[in-house]
C-alpha cells in the first residue's frame, strides 16, 4: 500500500476556520471524551491489554479509511491521544473537510501500545460517525451547487453528540442551525396551533419581542405550512422576523412563497423543510429558497469505515 502520509493534501471542502469555530472548547470536549472512554474502561480498565502487553512496549498504528468519504473528527483524535500517560504522538495526513480515499492512511499514532489499544475503538467510532455525517451532507451540498441554497442541519441528532455532529455537517459543506432550544426563537406548528394567520402574526410579534428582551438570539424564525400564514408574517414590521420555515410545501408552493417574500420582505430568509431527499433537493433549491434543512444528514448517515493497523517490525531470524 502506498504511504498516503507523504502525499499532498486533497482539496478541502469546508473552510477550516468555520469548522473549528463550531466545536466546543477543548476543556468541554475532554469531559465528553472522558465519558466515552469510561464506557469502554469501566472500573477495571483494559483487562486484556493489561494482562498481555508489557507496559513499556511501544508501537506505531495507522488509521486507514476502508471506505471513501469526507473526514471529520481529527481534533478528537488528537485530544484522545493526549488523554493517556504518556501522551501518544499523532501525525495527521488529512484535515477535516477533506475527501479521503479508500485505503488511504489518515492518521499515524505512535507511543505506548497499551495506550493505543485503550483508545482504538473510541477513536474509530467517533471518526466513523462524524465522517459519515460529513460525507452524507456533502452529497446533498453537491446537489444544490449553482443555486443560492445552503444545506442546513436540524436537532435530529444523537443525544450527547449534537455539537460534534453539527460540526461534521459544516465539514461536509453544510451550515449549522440552532444548537438547541436555548439559542434561537423558532415557533413551530405546535406553538401556534388553533390561531388564524392574523392572530398568529400578532402573537409571534409579541413573543419575539419578549424573547429578544430576555435572551441573545441567533435568529427568530417561524414555521408555516400555508401561504396565508406566510403573507401575514411578511407584513410584520421589518426586523421582527429573520427567517421563515416552509414546512412540507410542494415545489410549486415554494416558488410562490419565494415570489411573495421577494415582493413583501426581501430581507427575510426562507428555509424549505420536510422529507427532503437526494432526489428532491435540487428542485427544491432551484425555487430560490435560502436554505434547505435535512434531518437525514444526521439521523440517517451511514458510517465511514476506518480501521487501525498496528505496525510490527519483522522478527530477526536466527541461524538454523
pLDDT of residue 22: 74
What CA–CA distances, in Å, run from 139 to 169, 188, 223, 266, 315?
11, 28, 26, 29, 46
Does the active-site annotation cover 223? Answer: yes
Sequence spans of domains, the chain: 8-134+303-311, 142-299
Does the active-site annotation cover 120? Answer: no
From first to last of the 320 residues of the chain, give the pLDDT tens digit. 333 333 333 344 443 333 344 789 999 999 999 999 999 999 999 999 999 999 999 999 999 999 999 999 999 999 999 999 999 999 999 999 999 999 999 999 999 999 999 999 999 999 999 999 999 999 999 999 999 999 999 999 999 999 999 999 999 999 999 999 999 999 999 999 999 999 999 999 999 999 999 999 999 999 999 999 999 999 999 999 999 999 999 999 999 999 999 999 999 999 999 989 999 999 999 999 999 999 999 999 999 999 999 987 544 554 43
Does the active-site annotation cover 247? Answer: yes
Catalytic residue among 30, 101, 156, 162: 156
Residue of 101, 103, 79 lying closest to 90 (CA atoms): 79
Does the active-site annotation cover 156? Answer: yes
Catalytic residue among 20, 31, 188, 267: 188
Catalytic residue among 40, 203, 242, 247: 247
Per CATH, the number for 8-134+303-311 is: 3.90.1170.20
Catalytic residue among 120, 165, 223, 271: 223
Does the active-site annotation cover 188? Answer: yes
pLDDT of residue 6: 35
Task: Tell me yes or no: is domain 142-299 CATH 3.20.20.70.
Answer: yes
Q: What is the pTM of this model?
A: 0.90
Cβ partners under 8 Å of residue 302, min gap 6: 132, 136
Amino acid at each position: 500500500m502506498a504511504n498516503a502520509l507523504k502525499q499532498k493534501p486533497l482539496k478541502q471542502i469546508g473552510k477550516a476556520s468555520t469548522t473549528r469555530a463550531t466545536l466546543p472548547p477543548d476543556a468541554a470536549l475532554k469531559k465528553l471524551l472522558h465519558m466515552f472512554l469510561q464506557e469502554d474502561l469501566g472500573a477495571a480498565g483494559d483487562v486484556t491489554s493489561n494482562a498481555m502487553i508489557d507496559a513499556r512496549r511501544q508501537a506505531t498504528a495507522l488509521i486507514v479509511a476502508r471506505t471513501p468519504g469526507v473526514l471529520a473528527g481529527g481534533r478528537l483524535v488528537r485530544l484522545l491521544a493526549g488523554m493517556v500517560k504518556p501522551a501518544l504522538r499523532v501525525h495527521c495526513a488529512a484535515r477535516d473537510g477533506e475527501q479521503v480515499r479508500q485505503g488511504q492512511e489518515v492518521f499515524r499514532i505512535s507511543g505506548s501500545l497499551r495506550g493505543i489499544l485503550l483508545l482504538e475503538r473510541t477513536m474509530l467510532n467517533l471518526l466513523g460517525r462524524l465522517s459519515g455525517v460529513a460525507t452524507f451532507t456533502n452529497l446533498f451540498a453537491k446537489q444544490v451547487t449553482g443555486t443560492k441554497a445552503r444545506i442546513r442541519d436540524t436537532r435530529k441528532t444523537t443525544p450527547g453528540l449534537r455539537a460534534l455532529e453539527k460540526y461534521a455537517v459544516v465539514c461536509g459543506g453544510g451550515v449549522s442551525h440552532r444548537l438547541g432550544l436555548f439559542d434561537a426563537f423558532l415557533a413551530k406548528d405546535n406553538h401556534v396551533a388553533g390561531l388564524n394567520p392574523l392572530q398568529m402574526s400578532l402573537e409571534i410579534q409579541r413573543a419575539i419581542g419578549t424573547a429578544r428582551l430576555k435572551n441573545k438570539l441567533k435568529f427568530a424564525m417561524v414555521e408555516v405550512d400555508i401561504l396565508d400564514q406566510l403573507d401575514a408574517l411578511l407584513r410584520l414590521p421589518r426586523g421582527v422576523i429573520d427567517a421563515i420555515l416552509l414546512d412540507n410545501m410542494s415545489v410549486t408552493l415554494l416558488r410562490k412563497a419565494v415570489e411573495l417574500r421577494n415582493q413583501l420582505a426581501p430581507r427575510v430568509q426562507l428555509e424549505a423543510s420536510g422529507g427532503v431527499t437526494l432526489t428532491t433537493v435540487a428542485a427544491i433549491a432551484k425555487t430560490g429558497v435560502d436554505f434547505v434543512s435535512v434531518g437525514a444528514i444526521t439521523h440517517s448517515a451511514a458510517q465511514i469505515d476506518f480501521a487501525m493497523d498496528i505496525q510490527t517490525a519483522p522478527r530477526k531470524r536466527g541461524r538454523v
